[in-house]
Amino acid sequence: MFTDVKKAFLWLGFLAFFSVLNEMVFNVVLPDIAKDLGISPSLANWVNTSFMLSFAIGSITYGTISDKYGVKKLLVFGLLVYSGGSLLGVLAHSNFFAVIAARFIQGVGASAVPALIMVIVARYVKLEDRGKAFGIIGSLVAMGEGIGPALGGTVAHYVQWPFLFLIPMLTLFTIPFFLKELPNESTKGERMDIWGLALLSCGIVTFTIYTTQYNWLYLAISFALFAGCALYIHKVEQPFIEPRLFLNRKFILGVLTGCILLGTVAGCISMIPYMMRDVHQLSASMIGWVIFPGTMSVMLFGIVGGSLVDKRGTTFVLWLGSLFIVASFLIISLFADRTPRLVSGMLILMFGGLSFVKTVISTSVADALGPKEIGAGMGFLSFACFLAEGLGMAIVGGLLTKHILEYPLLSTIQNAKAYLYSNLLLVFIVTILIGATIYTVAYSRRGKRI
């Protein structure tokens, strides 16, 4: 137990805030990075994609090995790696591959925070204080998502984007507290499935490279690695991913729905800065403030979404959230070359819909799992959705670079620079509707609420 619960909440929330902040802070400066390093949007988006991939893989890995190595050691290790990646990014910011490596290393370290915070609260916070702990942490996470774009744009505009790498180093101040307060846990002898993790990770990375390079060799290699992983986890005694989860139809379709919807929205969010720069000639600072109202609205919509799920059911709330997202995409698509204020207003609707979707997916997937499957199943959901967000960013970067959708389609668009973005939003609409339909097929029951 923590001797000072209030101080523990403060430091845990501080960590949660900065782990999420770093997901968002680079988003608005991607056009600046592309310009400064002389690279295409497909490559620039790897600044975020590399972070999300390692963050996803790490988030499930730390939770899996926490019983073996202890929370204190893993948390300190993660924070040191997080800061090490940040230092590399600052020192080698003029080299694109060094920046990608720095972001990947940051993701490896930062992923320890959300994975281990849940373990810390469950193990060391008193039962009567846990609700308060999760509430504070959740609020600070939402705040980090909201402040990230505005902070990133402001720093890039008034200083330089490489200094964004320094922000996560503030987490080093939490190490003395956790070294003092967390007990030295005895290690256990559970075996970690390194080979399963390696096969899946390499398959994901090569598939992501395919989505930006469109080289069929990468696609073939990724499928071979996925097939190898599928065969391997059925043979090993303690697999990285429990095979029986894939026999649960509701679980798989719920995860698939989450991946489609969250990945599509993440791709749209990564596209907005390019659209604001190309069509409206906004600076990074102004782009951050265009996105800011939408990200801050997540807190309010999250509360409303949870209440609606209890009253109206998950299918209703998922379609309501999906229609919010579709409406925002459609209006931006129709008027992409009009005032940025319209885009900012529609992003409030989009982030609100996203909040509804996240609430439904978490609730539905949890309900589809048995008591002994909750830990592994929810961990896999988080892992899959983080990966989908990274893939969404990579795919959109590739489409922006290839310009295959750059032609006049909607008569409302007068600026030729807006054609690509307007048409891409129409593709997003179709994808969102597909995801919502999959959920309906899997979870809707006549006369019942899931």
CATH superfamily of 242-450: MFS general substrate transporter like domains (1.20.1250.20)
pLDDT at 197 over 90: no
The Cα–Cα gap between 304 and 27 comes to: 27
CATH topology of 1-182 equal to that of 242-450?
A: yes
pLDDT at 310 over 60: yes
Are 85 and 109 spatial neighbours (Cβ–Cβ below 8 Å)? yes
pLDDT at 70: 77
- Across 91-106, b (16+ Cβ under 10 Å) vs e yields ebbeebeebbbbbbbb
Task: Give the ranges where 171-313 is alpha helix by DSSP (H).
Answer: 175-181, 194-213, 216-233, 249-280, 284-296, 298-312
- DSSP labels, 180-193: HHS--PPP--PPP-
pLDDT at 297 over 60: yes
Residue of 195 and 436 predicted with greater confidence: 436
Least confident span in 185-189, 291-295, 340-344 = 185-189
Are 241 and 233 spatial neighbours (Cβ–Cβ below 8 Å)? yes
pLDDT at 137: 66
DSSP 245: G
Point out which residues pair with 445 in neighbouring strands: 448
Range among 191-205, 260-274, 370-384 rated most confident: 260-274
Q: Which amino acid is at 275?
A: M
Residue of 207 and 13 predicted with greater confidence: 207
pLDDT digits (tens, 9 = 90+) for 198-212: 888 888 888 888 877
Average pLDDT, the chain: 83
pLDDT at 449: 39
pLDDT at 450 over 50: no
Q: How confident is the model at residue 6 (pLDDT cuts 50, 70, 90)?
A: low
In this structure, what token pair is assigned to residue 154? Answer: 């402001």
In this structure, what token pair is assigned to residue 14? Answer: 């501080």
The Cα–Cα gap between 262 and 388 comes to: 7
pLDDT digits (tens, 9 = 90+) for 65-82: 776 777 888 889 999 999
Range among 116-130, 198-212, 310-324 rated most confident: 310-324
In this structure, what token pair is assigned to residue 55? Answer: 């963050």
In this structure, what token pair is assigned to residue 33? Answer: 């990075």
Q: Comparing C-alpha atoms, which of 258, 272, 282, 274 is closest to residue 348?
A: 272
pLDDT at 420: 93
Are 428 and 269 spatial neighbours (Cβ–Cβ below 8 Å)? no
Least confident span in 31-35, 141-145, 195-199, 242-246 = 141-145
- Across 155-178, b (16+ Cβ under 10 Å) vs e yields bbbeeebbebbebbbebeebeebb
pLDDT at 121 over 80: no
Q: Comparing C-alpha atoms, which of 131, 83, 121 is closest to residue 105?
A: 83
Q: How confident is the model at residue 447 (pLDDT cuts 50, 70, 90)?
A: very low
pLDDT digits (tens, 9 = 90+) for 143-189: 777 778 888 888 888 888 999 999 888 889 888 888 887 777 666 55
Q: List the domain boundaries for the chain.
A: 1-182, 194-239, 242-450
pTM exceeds 0.85, yes or no: no
Q: Rounded to the nearest 10 degrees, how much is the dihedral formed by the CA atoms of 60, 128, 361, 108?
A: -20
Q: Comparing C-alpha atoms, which of 405, 279, 404 is closest to residue 336?
A: 279
Are 268 and 429 spatial neighbours (Cβ–Cβ below 8 Å)? no
Report the pLDDT averaged over residues 230-235: 84
Q: How confident is the model at residue 252 (pLDDT cuts 50, 70, 90)?
A: very high
The Cα–Cα gap between 154 and 169 comes to: 18
Work out the number of other CB atoms within 10 angstroms of the CB of residue 205.
21
pLDDT at 1: 53
pLDDT at 446: 44
The Cα–Cα gap between 213 and 215 comes to: 5
Architecture per CATH, 1-182: Up-down Bundle (1.20)
